Amino acid sequence: MTIEKLYDTFLKCNSISTDTRKINSDCLFFALKGDNFNGNKFALEALKRGAQFVVIDEEKYNEHSNCILVDNVLETLQGLARHHRQALNTPIIALTGSNGKTTTKELINAVLSTTFKTSATKGNLNNHIGVPLTILEFTKDTEIGIVEMGANHQKEIEFLTNIALPDYGLITNFGKAHLEGFVGIEGVIKGKSELYDHLKTHNKIVFVNYDDVKQIEQIGNYEKTIMFGSNMSMTSAQPFINLKFNSTNIKTHLTGAYNYNNIAAAIAIGTYFKVDDDSISKAITNYIPSNNRSQIIEKNSNKIILDAYNANPTSMIAALNNFGSLNDSGKVAILGDMFELGETAAIEHQSISDYSQKFDIEHIYLVGEHFFKTKNNSNRVSSFKSFEDLKHKLLNSPLKHKYLLIKGSRGMALERVLDYL
Q: Are 30 and 6 in contact (CB under 8 A)?
A: no
Q: What percent of the chain has pLDDT over 90?
A: 87
Distances from the Cα of 410 to the Cα of 2, 95, 414, angstroms? 39, 21, 8
| 119 pLDDT above the threshold of 90 | yes
| CATH of the domain spanning 3-71 | 3.40.1390.10
- pTM for this one? 0.91
* Domain span(s) for CATH 3.40.1390.10 in the chain: 3-71
pLDDT value at residue 132: 97
Q: Are 355 and 371 in contact (CB under 8 A)?
A: no
Give pLDDT tens digits for 54-66.
Answer: 999 999 999 999 9
* Whole-number average pLDDT of the chain: 94
| 123 pLDDT above the threshold of 90 | no
295-420 folds as Protein-Tyrosine Phosphatase; Chain A (3.90.190)
DSSP-assigned states of every residue in 341-381: -GGGHHHHHHHHHHHHTTS--SEEEEESHHHHTS----TTE
* Domain span(s) for CATH 3.90.190.20 in the chain: 295-420
* Domain span(s) for CATH 3.40.1190.10 in the chain: 90-286
pLDDT value at residue 177: 82
| 179 pLDDT above the threshold of 90 | no
| 198 pLDDT above the threshold of 90 | yes
pLDDT value at residue 110: 98
The residue-averaged pLDDT of 313-323 equals 94
The residue-averaged pLDDT of 97-109 equals 95
Taking each helix axis from N to C terminus, what angle separates 277-286 and 101-112, rounded to the nearest 10 degrees?
A: 130
Give pLDDT tens digits for 247-256.
Answer: 889 999 999 8
| 291 pLDDT above the threshold of 90 | no
pLDDT value at residue 152: 85
DSSP-assigned states of every residue in 35-91: SS-BGGGGHHHHHHTT-SEEEE--GGG--STTEEE-S-HHHHHHHHHHHHHHHH---
Give pLDDT tens digits for 363-384.
Answer: 999 999 999 999 998 999 999 9
Q: Are 164 and 195 in contact (CB under 8 A)?
A: no
Give pLDDT tens digits for 320-350.
Answer: 999 999 989 999 999 999 999 999 999 999 9
Given pLDDT bands bounded at 50, 70 and 90, which one contains residue 183? confident
Quick one: CATH architecture of 90-286?
A: 3-Layer(aba) Sandwich (3.40)
pLDDT value at residue 178: 84
| 145 pLDDT above the threshold of 90 | yes
